[in-house]
A and B are shown apart, each in its own frame.
Chain A
Amino acid sequence: MTVVALVIVLVALVAHTAGQIFLKHAMASSNNETGFRSRAVAIPFAIGIVLMTTQFFLVLGLLQRYDLSFIYPFQGLGVIIITLTAGITLREKLSLQLMIGSLLISFGVVLVSMT
């Protein structure tokens, strides 16, 4: 793996994490009356979509060079990173059970992808 590939993998991971947080934030602020017209929803939603699109194309670029299995270890790490980030930035309740489960999923995905 080259340095460029590593940087792109990391940028994709950060974009994915931030994108999910923004989308969740937008959807949590939405309600049936204002929907997407409210700025509190539209702005984080737009940022989330831009980040997710960036991530999509970066992963597509990586897939052109590496196996399907190459990208997944990093997406595996994404599980625990996104769970922790959601706990910190969105103040979601992180139970011990949730943390253990997320760690197992993270580790399992890394194993599946590395083999």
Chain B
Amino acid sequence: METETRPTGLRNPWLHLAISVICVAIYELLLKRGAAETANPNSSWSWTGLTGLGSIYVWIAIVFVIVSLITWLYVLRYLPLSVAFPVSQSVHVLVPLGSWLILGENIVTLRWIGIALVSLGLAIVAKPVARLEEEL
């Protein structure tokens, strides 16, 4: 599945993975704002999420979704899904950290433990891949 040689520099798939992850973090925060703005549990359409399109935040989020998707597709071309996806989940460290920094949300001890576990898991997943890259 990995017959193509991996490009370096600006075309490095790891760079694109980082861009994709940052875009996901931004759009998840925007989506929550947009969803909060358009929340109306009485509407029979609300389970489809389509009512969210009434918020400008959701539309800006969609732009970030598209950028994250394009960079993600590029990533998928070069990296196995079983490696790229766990690494992409570092977004779940970025979102609470972003909420903590920007929105001033509290992070409880258990959440810090979760953040530590994700970071540790990331190091374990990424380490053999990084070694493999060096050998290439």
- Show the binding face of A for B, using Cβ within 8 Å: 4, 8, 20-21, 23-24, 27-28, 30-31, 52, 56-65, 68, 72, 75-76, 79, 82-83, 86-87, 90-95, 97-98, 100-115
Contact = CB atoms under 8 A, between A and B. Distances in A.
A103 B51 CA distance: 35
Given A105-B122, A115-B110, A115-B111, A63 B32 contact: yes
Contacts of B127: 97
Contacts, number: 173
15 contacts: A56-B65, A57-B52, A58-B49, A64-B36, A64-B41, A83-B82, A86-B85, A92-B81, A97-B127, A104-B121, A106-B121, A107-B121, A108-B118, A108-B121, A112-B96
Query: Dominant SS at the B interface?
Result: helix
A101 B111 CA distance: 18
Given A56-B65, A61-B46, A83-B86, 14 more contacts: A20-B85, A23-B76, A61-B52, A64-B36, A64-B39, A64-B41, A86-B85, A90-B81, A101-B124, A105-B121, A106-B121, A108-B119, A109-B89, A111-B114
Contacts of A110: 114
A97 B126 CA distance: 10
Nearest to A31: B4
Contacts of B80: 86, 90, 92-93
Interface string B103-136: 0000010110111111111111111100000000
Interface residues of B, number: 58
Contacts of B52: 57, 60-61, 63-64
B134 to A, nearest CB: 16
Contact of B46 (A59, A64, A105, A114): A64
A50 B41 CA distance: 25
B111 A111 contact: yes
Given A4-B47, A56-B49, A68-B32, A115 B114 contact: yes
Interface string B45-70: 01111111000001000000100010
A15 to B, nearest CB: 12
B48 A61 contact: yes
A64 to B, nearest CB: 4
A102 B124 CA distance: 9
B103 to A, nearest CB: 10
